Structure 1
Amino acid sequence: MRLGLHYWNFSTPADPTELAPTLARTARIADQAGVASFTVMDHFFQMEGMATAEEPMLEGYTTLGFLAAATERMTLGLLVTGVMYRYPGLLAKTVTTLDVLSGGRARLGIGASWYEREQRGLGVPVVPVAERFERLEETLQICKQMWSDDNGSYQGRHYQLTETLCVPAPLSRPYPPIMIGGGGEKKTLLLVARYADACNVFGSSAADVAGKLDVLRRHCEAEGRDYDEITKTVLVTRAPLPDVDAFVAEVREYAALGVTEVQTMPTGHPVEFAEQLAERVVPRLADIG
């Protein structure tokens, strides 16, 4: 079982001058311990419900570029890119840049976006949900074309590109893995079946995850896609350190469903969390799967 660290909170330490060294040290500890992936959010205001919108938040791709220089092994990505925040051609170029500079360690995590407060606050167009999913599908098509030998035009309903030139090409082959985040059964999981190399669903319970994966399997059957070639990942909401045995038991339940990567979120001071994760959790997951 692969373990990912999802770094969602930049409030600790409180001194902004300590953010960079704390982030780098946390990532290095995780990288050296064998944590497989490191992700941050694609938000500009902190998510309400998790904390107040005024809590510190760093732009995601800039953060990943910083982490590319601080780490050597981990996959780097956003969990997940909001489709409304970047033009698709520029997004493909951004992820390509991350992949080249990290030595082929980028992953494109993407979703339909949802946080209207930050969108309205920062002047990002707010469009109906149906249109967001249309734009998501076109973005996936554009990224795949940008990462192919086809440098020609793309003509969609929402996006028109006269050239899909992307030089240098990504180091990842055939391209940086595409992970679609979310558990929407009618649209999100359908797009996973059509375009994605991986899915990410919310780990509220093994029963809920099993239900989502059953839906994905049906979409794959309808689309003629091999369900088994899609990597299944889960963001686990249970904190791992208070009860490591319970966390490991839950991960085993996900593994039995075919999940091969779980992500966990730091609590408390991130450096101390990473140290404890490396010592108490990572070794326990090595024999799962």
Structure 2
Amino acid sequence: MRLRIFTEPQQGASYDTLLAVAKAAEDLGFDAFFRSDHYVKMGDVSGLPGPTDAWITLGALARETSRIRLGTLMTAATFRYPGPLAISVAQVDQMSGGRVDLGIGTGWFEEEHAAYGIPFPSLGERFERLEEQLQILTGLWRTPDGETFDFEGRHYTLKDSPALPKPARPEGPPILIGGFGAKRTPRIAAEHADEYNVPFAQVDDTAAAFGRVRKAVEERGRTRPMVYSAAQVVCCGRDEAEIGRRAAAIGREVDELRENGLCGTPAEILEKIGKFGDVGAECLYLQILDLSDINHLELIAFEVLNKL
């Protein structure tokens, strides 16, 4: 089981804060540092100093770290045209020495689109755009040097693209697809993803979602492996007082977190991680909501990560 740190900087974090968390995650032995791709806060928080751009952040972190993988959960297909996104991701991948993972989804938070003038089409159209973007991204990255790439879809058309720059690996960075959809999501994951992620679900619901994607993989006769992962909010403490303090810091109740996340003592969290492993999760994204609490990362590293 690999453990990755997952942050939500739209809730309030400067680049310096994200850098501190990323460097701590690397030093403590976590597998990756991921961040959300959002432009507006959610819930009753200040959100100050305001949003930071996901790929600008990861490009900077690519030069400030040396081992840890870097990625998004999830870049919204509504935010960027696929050609410029392919350039950005390939450049960050090169800057990091091939340490990038691209999590990409349809986009879902209408308020942030309205706030920054981004079109927010229907869910059906967003899925169409996501599929075309995936075809374009992989097509651009995998076009041999010296050749050009063309694409004509319903929403995007590319003509004589030089398909540059290239990412560090010829096949491009690993692609993550996530969500609970019963039909479109499993099919898209089976066709395009290297990893399928289930966010913030109970173990049984996670197992069911994994099962739908496994079925889609089998139906398509896919031979390359699929990584199955889950994301969970984490709140770890040595005793009930420390657990309660950390829960209060993120505006959550301990009992609710124990039910809906990885909450409790290190032993409790290890036990629940084992349950996710039993249903096929190979990687867990630990959502860290209080980015000022580096001691939290240290506790998880020493008492959970080191005992897996």
Distance of 2:226 and 2:11 partners within structure 1: 35
Cα 1:266–1:87 shift into 2, 3 Å: same
Partner of 2:99: 105
Instruction: State the AA in 2 paired with 1:246.
Output: E
1:154 is paired with a residue of what secondary structure?
strand
Instruction: State the AA in 1 paired with 2:172.
Output: Y
Task: State the 1:124 CA deviation.
Answer: 0.7
Cα 1:170–1:222 shift into 2, 3 Å: same
Equivalences for residues 122-161 of structure 1 within 5 A: 122-149=116-143, 151-161=148-158
1:280 maps onto 2:294 in alignment? no
Partner of 2:114: 120
Instruction: State the AA in 1 paired with 2:294.
Output: V
Partner of 2:255: none
1:104 is paired with a residue of what secondary structure?
coil
Partner of 1:16: none
1:153 is paired with a residue of what secondary structure?
strand
Distance of 2:110 and 2:46 partners within structure 1: 15
Distance of 2:300 and 2:154 partners within structure 1: 46
Contact 1:240–1:264 (Cα < 8 Å) also in 2: no
Task: State the 1:128 CA deviation.
Answer: 0.6
Task: State the 1:49 CA deviation.
Answer: 3.8
Distance of 1:224 and 1:49 partners within structure 2: 43
Distance of 1:237 and 1:28 partners within structure 2: 20
What runs of 5+ residues in structure 2 fail to find an aligned partner? 238-242, 244-264
Aligned counterpart in structure 2 of residue 21 of structure 1, from 13, 16, 37: 16
Contact 2:143–2:163 (Cα < 8 Å) also in 1: no
Partner of 2:57: 63
Task: State the 1:281 CA deviation.
Answer: 2.2
Partner of 1:178: 175
With 271-280 and 82-91 compared, the bigger mean Cα shift is at 271-280
Aligned counterpart in structure 1 of residue 226 of structure 2, from 204, 220, 230: 230
1:21 is paired with a residue of what secondary structure?
helix
Aligned positions, number: 278
Contact 1:204–1:237 (Cα < 8 Å) also in 2: no
Partner of 1:187: 184
Contact 1:89–1:142 (Cα < 8 Å) also in 2: yes
Contact 1:97–1:170 (Cα < 8 Å) also in 2: yes
Contact 1:12–1:270 (Cα < 8 Å) also in 2: no
Contact 1:240–1:281 (Cα < 8 Å) also in 2: no
Higher relative contact order (CA closer than 8 Å, sequence separation 6+): 1
1:43 maps onto 2:38 in alignment? yes
Contact 2:10–2:38 (Cα < 8 Å) also in 1: no
Task: State the 1:190 CA deviation.
Answer: 1.4
Contact 2:8–2:36 (Cα < 8 Å) also in 1: yes
Task: State the 1:66 CA deviation.
Answer: 1.7
Length-normalised TM-score, structure 1: 0.89
Distance of 2:302 and 2:24 partners within structure 1: 10
Task: State the 1:54 CA deviation.
Answer: 6.8
What runs of 5+ residues in structure 1 fail to find an aligned partner? 14-18
Partner of 1:219: 216
Distance of 1:116 and 1:168 partners within structure 2: 32
1:247 maps onto 2:269 in alignment? yes
Distance of 2:203 and 2:214 partners within structure 1: 16
Contact 2:12–2:51 (Cα < 8 Å) also in 1: no
Task: State the 1:267 CA deviation.
Answer: 4.0
Length-normalised TM-score, structure 2: 0.84
Cα 1:248–1:21 shift into 2, 3 Å: same
2:124 is paired with a residue of what secondary structure?
helix
Partner of 2:262: none
Q: What is the RMSD computed on CA atoms of the aligned residues?
A: 2.0
Cα distance per residue 1:5-44 (max 9 Å; x no partner): 011146667xxxxx33332222112102211111111101
Task: State the 1:238 CA deviation.
Answer: 4.3
Instruction: State the AA in 2 paired with 1:266.
Output: I
